[in-house]
Amino acid sequence: MAQIFPSWTNKLPLILLVVVVGIGVSKVGFFSYFGSPEFTDVGYRPDQPVDYSHKLHAGDLGIDCRYCHVSVETSAVSNVPPTRTCMNCHTLVNTDSDKLAKVRESWQTGKPIEWVRVHKVGEYAYFNHSIHIDRGVGCISCHGNVAEMEKVTQAEPLSMGWCLDCHRNPGPNLRPVDEVTNMYWEKPDNQAEFAAKIIKEKNISPPVNCAGCHR
């Protein structure tokens, strides 16, 4: 009796299995990357109500991060500078600039400028700026080189996996505390030796358990 189906159909179940598994793996890979902070968050650069240039202020003029973000060394959060901080200079500098119209309006009315937040960890995670600054983690490690940014852009994913990579191996991100805001500080040739010394002196042991960040 002649066969109804050709012989290659004997392999059809295996072919279907390979296709189904391949589609499943592709979907997991697709959403793992394109749905991750590395893809969705890195590069985030919102428009701000005032066209403020970090490159001009932090880069060309060399203004220290802590002049505006005064609480970063003492508080869990880094403050958004109030209008009066801007006006410390701009009562004398570029007093008629159209770019600063909203700053002057905020100063006169007392209504804060509604800056758009760029860097933010999840509400379910606890992050303390002051602890990291005190240990010698440079601003650039998380925020990128803002001294070269006309408009602040998110440079790192700030994801759980990204944080844990640093907690498991903090050495490469450590520097002298007085250099934390220096965007052009260069690691010494003996970075590993230097980091080991700092880790021992400050008893640095970043938590990698859930309770460390999820409280």
Q: Are 100 and 90 in contact (CB under 8 A)?
A: yes
pLDDT at 81: 95
**Distance (Å, rounded) from C-alpha 134 to C-alpha 142?**
15
Question: What DSSP element (H or E) covers 164?
Answer: helix 160-168
pLDDT at 31: 66
**Distance (Å, rounded) from C-alpha 91 to C-alpha 22?**
64
Query: 159-204, pLDDT tens digit by residue?
Result: 999 999 999 999 999 999 999 999 999 999 999 999 999 999 999 9
Average pLDDT score, the chain: 91
**Distance (Å, rounded) from C-alpha 113 to C-alpha 107?**
9
Question: What percent of the chain is predicted at pLDDT more than 70?
Answer: 94
**Average pLDDT rounded to a whole number, residues 118-140:** 94
Rg of the chain (C-alpha set): 25
Q: What is the DSSP letter of 68?
A: H
* Short-list 117, 119, 123, 113, CA closest to 141: 119
Written as one string, the DSSP assignment of 84-142 is HHHHHHHTTSSTT-GGGHHHHHHHHH-PPP-PPP-----TTS---HHHHHHHTB-HHHH
pLDDT at 169: 97
What is the CB neighbour count within 10 angstroms for residue 118? 18
**Distance (Å, rounded) from C-alpha 64 to C-alpha 44?**
23
* Short-list 150, 135, 130, CA closest to 50: 150
Q: Which two tokens stand for residue 108?
A: 């006169």
pLDDT confidence bin for 138, thresholds 50/70/90: very high
What is the CB neighbour count within 10 angstroms for residue 90? 16
Cα distances (angstroms) measured from residue 44 to each of 39, 66, 73, 197, 213: 10, 23, 25, 36, 24
pLDDT confidence bin for 54, thresholds 50/70/90: very high
